[in-house]
Amino acid sequence: MAKENTEEEDQVNYYLNQIKKHGLNSYELAKDGENGYAESAETYAWWLFPSLINFHQIIREEVNLTEAINMSIIIHSALIIEGFIYEAIKQEAGLIKDDSDLDGRIYNFFEKKLDKSSWTDLNDFFKLTFNTRLKELTDSDNWKCIVMLFYFRNMLTHSKPIKFSVKEENGELKMRHFGNYELIYNYLLEKKLIQNVNFIKSMRTELINSAIADFFWDNCQDFLANIIENSENIKMLPVYDSYQNAFEE
């Protein structure tokens, strides 16, 4: 006499048949039974860029693209921070898709704002979600560097020219870099990563070299490590696994 399956065995067999029919990660398996909603697995671009930066540092002196590579390191350092913060906020906030009540509508409004957020917005949204400011999770020197990194990234991303002008004021020559490059210039001087421009001898400026790019990349890594070290919430989120996988050797 054949043995009857238990309810648990029947359920297992049902899902095995569904997997054979539709595929392991199919919509039919993932969908919500009530409203038919389903999401695929996630991939965030920032996961890929720590390895790319490390690769760029290795090949930087072997190719005739040093300046472009250093710009890339600065831009991608900022991208990694934004991606990490965005993923952390998204996971901490949770997932609500139902617009039938106020909580759902407020969350969905927040999600739309988050998806369009700038770096300044992400700072505010992080405070809203984790009830602490990003600047409170790291030291003042590191935070200042991260602020400068985003000034730098924004100027480079929008392809603002790296240049300065010289103007005589009250019989004295004064130099000023274009836009936020002036803030970056003064910061790099403070950190002794560049020398004062001697515009009497040369009307050229250098705000990007390998030492500068590596300085911002090192501070990017310190910033993320400090956030994780000083935030118990983030250690409990999947973004912590993303971080470990992205930075694994």
Together in a domain, 54 and 133: yes
Q: How many CB atoms lie within 10 A of CB 193?
A: 15
Burial category of 126 from C-beta neighbours within 10 Å (exposed 0-12, middle 13-18, buried 19 and up): buried
Q: How many domains in the chain?
A: 2
Kindly report the CA angle at 146 between 116 and 73, in degrees rounded to 5? 85
Together in a domain, 79 and 200: no
In whole angstroms, give the CA distance from residue 162 to residue 211.
Answer: 18
Determine, yes or no, domain membership for 42: no
What pLDDT, in 10s, does the model give residues 55-97? 999 999 888 899 999 999 999 999 999 999 999 999 998 766 6
In whole angstroms, give the CA distance from residue 74 to residue 223.
Answer: 14
Determine, yes or no, domain membership for 22: no
Together in a domain, 112 and 170: no
Together in a domain, 131 and 79: yes
User: 49: Cβ–Cβ under 8 A, 6 or more apart, which residues?
Assistant: 76, 79, 80, 246
Q: Which residue has the higher pLDDT, 163 or 93?
A: 163
Together in a domain, 124 and 170: no
Together in a domain, 96 and 167: no
Together in a domain, 101 and 170: no
What pLDDT, in 10s, does the model give residues 103-158? 778 878 888 888 888 999 999 999 999 999 999 999 999 999 999 999 999 999 99
Q: Is the pTM of this model over 0.75?
A: yes
SS3 label, residue 221 = helix
Q: Which residue has the higher pLDDT, 16 or 87?
A: 87
User: 123: Cβ–Cβ under 8 A, 6 or more apart, which residues?
Assistant: 133, 134, 135
Determine, yes or no, domain membership for 101: yes
For residue 207, pLDDT over 90 is answered with yes
Residue 77, domain extent: 47-138+232-246
